[in-house]
Structures are given as structure tokens and as C-alpha cells.
Amino acid sequence: MVSPVKLAHIALKTTDIKASSTWYKSVLDAQAVFENEMLCFLTYDDEHHRVVLAQDDAYEPGGPSAGLHHVSFTYQSLDDLFDTFERLQARGIRPHWCINHGPTLSMYYLDPMSNQVELQIDTMSAEEAIEFVGSEAFRANPIGIEFDPHELNKRRKSGEPAESLTAYGP
């Protein structure tokens, strides 16, 4: 069995991106590497983003907290990520969303309480990821490109290089 190598980031729901961004920047002495009306990616160390703020208008002030959007765990390699995918699939645990974000290749799972857990690999260095997040390609599509994990795993097993499998693009 393979364990993740680090906790990558947390993603929080908010009804006020601007106020939340200002607060987390102050509290964590963080910088925004991407920010628009729906998303804010903050970093304060060598990771391209440690905190994500996601607009969620469903939250009602005075109710329970707006909540955790997801927790993300990074694996060392594409093989480790897909070995984990196969192990979980054998146990009936399947991702509900798979996406190439550009800086990461990610599979999202739902825990028994429907909390999202992202299992990912980094596909770029931190410097490349920060540059990518500032690019026009990212501004045009800050979420990423969905992929079929079965098809990608089949290509991996046939010997296609990881660089090709994780490349961002159609």
C-alpha cells in the first residue's frame, strides 16, 4: 500500500471571497497566486497553494459553518496515484470527479459523510505552477480538464510516459 507524501491544501467554502481572502492573507501572511469572484488560491510557503477559497452562495449566515470544500493529499508519482486508484476501486471506492488542473492531476472521492477528498500528484514544480496559475490558459479555465481514470490508467499500463499522461490540454 502507498501513502501520500504530504497534505497539499485545504479548500474552504465562503459566501464572501473578498472578506475571506483578506482575512486569510492577514492571518497567514499569505499571498494570492490566483483570485477572481469565484476562487482564491493562497500560498505562504513553497506549495503553489495551501488554502483555496471557493464561493458558495448556499451558506446561510448564523447557520453551521460554510464548511470544508475538500482536503487534498499528494502522492509521489503517477504510479502511486493509480496504484491507489486500483486498490480503492477493488474495495468499491470510486472517484466521483477526475480532473487535470494543470499543476496537479487529481481524483476526488467522497467519504461516508460526503466530504470531498482529493488524491493528487504534482505535475509541475511550484515555480511552474505559480506561473501557470497566472497564465491566460488558467484564467480561461481555472478548474481544469476532466479525464477518464480508466482510460488514463490503461494508457499508463501500456507504457505511455507520465509527462504525456499529465500534459495539460485537450
Residues 43 and 30 sit within 8 Å (Cβ to Cβ): yes
pLDDT of residue 18: 92
pLDDT of residue 62: 63
First to last CA, the chain: 32
Cross-strand bridge partners of residue 145: 100
Q: Does residue 61 surpass a pLDDT of 70?
A: no
Cross-strand bridge partners of residue 78: none
Q: In what order do the strands lie in the sheet with 6-14?
A: 31-35, 39-43, 51-55, 6-14, 68-74, 116-122, 104-110, 97-100, 145-146
Kindly report which listed range (24-28, 78-82, 92-96, 158-162) carries the lowest average pLDDT score: 24-28
167, three cell numbers: 500534459
Q: What does residue 115 show for φ and ψ, rounded to 5 degrees?
A: -75, 140
Digit-coded pLDDT (tens) for 127-160:
999 999 999 999 999 999 999 999 999 999 999 9
pLDDT of residue 158: 97
Alpha carbons within 13 angstroms on the beta-carbon side of residue 154 total 5
Q: What value does the mean pLDDT of the chain take?
A: 89
- Fold for 6-166, please state it: 2,3-Dihydroxybiphenyl 1,2-Dioxygenase; domain 1 (3.10.180)
